[in-house]
Amino acid sequence: MRALLLAAGYGTRLRPLTDNIPKCLVSIRGRSLLDYWLELLLTGGIESILVNTHYFPEKVSDFVGASRWKDRVTLMHEEVLLGTGGTILHNRKFFRDEAFLVAHADNLTRFDVRAFIARHASRPPEVVVTMMTFATDAPQSCGIVVEDDKGIVRDFHEKSPNPPGNRANAAVYVFEPEIIKFLESLGRSTIDLSTEVLPRYLGRIRTHFNTMYHRDIGTPNSLRKAELEFPPL
């Protein structure tokens, strides 16, 4: 299986830390978010990774070029941001008409990649997306997932002031190629996954709960928490 790491974010809420580096290169315990992701995925059964860039792309390129994983990583620069779904569509040939993993590189996580892939492989026939979820300590700032007793997603509540729980979308997915056909049918190049695609697949998304660790590194406070909490490899 191949993977897409979405790494084009500005990290606006982390400024001034991100004034001169992209968010994916923010350091936690001496290693960047991107470094953690490459190791996690490429030692967990992923064959190769495509990383999209936009903000300080040369710094991402320099980092990957010096990495032990460089031969298994392909960079794709977006001069104009395409949105999460648009990036998948633009790079559809990379996925070879097979199931593929997508993750946001601005989250810090630890999970069993092989178990996540196996969860997708065991899905019911109607399911085309496996979505990782986690228990958030800030449900008002997350996309909260409502699922049935079989783990099938029935509803989303995006940054609701009164969320119906704390089980959140971790923005890590395995998609079937059917998703790309849907993206093509929209007839445009800029597409957002969370608002334009996932809601169309309610009833066809199954969850996989992350029991190990997951945190969105979106603010200085979340970064401080991650420095204290993050479990070592």
Ordered DSSP codes for 87-136:
HHHHTGGGGTTS-EEEEETTEEEE--HHHHHHHHHT--TT--EEEEEEE-
Residue 29 zone, left/alpha/beta (φ > 0; ψ -120 to 50; rest): left
CATH number at residue 87: 3.90.550.10
What is the maximal distance between C-alpha atoms in the chain? 47
pLDDT band for position 91 (cuts 50, 70, 90): very high
**Mean per-residue pLDDT, 193-209:** 96
Residue partners of 153: CB distance under 8 A and separation at least 6: 131, 145, 146, 147, 202, 203, 205, 206, 207
Domain-embedded: residue 103: yes
216 or 14: whose pLDDT is higher? 216
Average pLDDT along the chain: 92
pLDDT at 12 over 60: yes
Domain-embedded: residue 197: yes
Q: How far is CA 98 from the centre of its chain?
A: 18
pLDDT band for position 26 (cuts 50, 70, 90): confident
Domain-embedded: residue 12: yes
Domain-embedded: residue 152: no
The tens digit of pLDDT for each residue in 133-175 reads 999 887 877 789 999 999 999 999 887 787 878 899 999 999 9
Distance (Å, whole) CA 44 – CA 111 = 9
Domain-embedded: residue 179: yes
In the prediction, which pLDDT does 13 show? 74
CA atoms within 13 A on the CB side of 115: 10
Range of the domain at 19: 2-125+171-229
pLDDT at 231 over 80: no
In the prediction, which pLDDT does 27 show? 83
Domain-embedded: residue 37: yes
Distance (Å, whole) CA 183 – CA 179 = 6
Of 183, 163, 180, 173, residue with least CA distance to 206:
173
Q: Domain count of the chain? A: 1
In the prediction, which pLDDT does 233 show? 57
DSSP states along 138-158 = -GGGSEEEEE-TTSBEEEEEE
Give me the residue label for tokens 């008409």: 97
pLDDT at 94 over 60: yes
Of 170, 53, 69, residue with least CA distance to 110:
170
Residue partners of 20: CB distance under 8 A and separation at least 6: 56
In the prediction, which pLDDT does 184 show? 97
Domain-embedded: residue 149: no
Of 122, 138, 140, residue with least CA distance to 206:
122
Domain-embedded: residue 223: yes
The tens digit of pLDDT for each residue in 54-88 reads 988 899 999 999 999 999 999 999 999 999 999 99
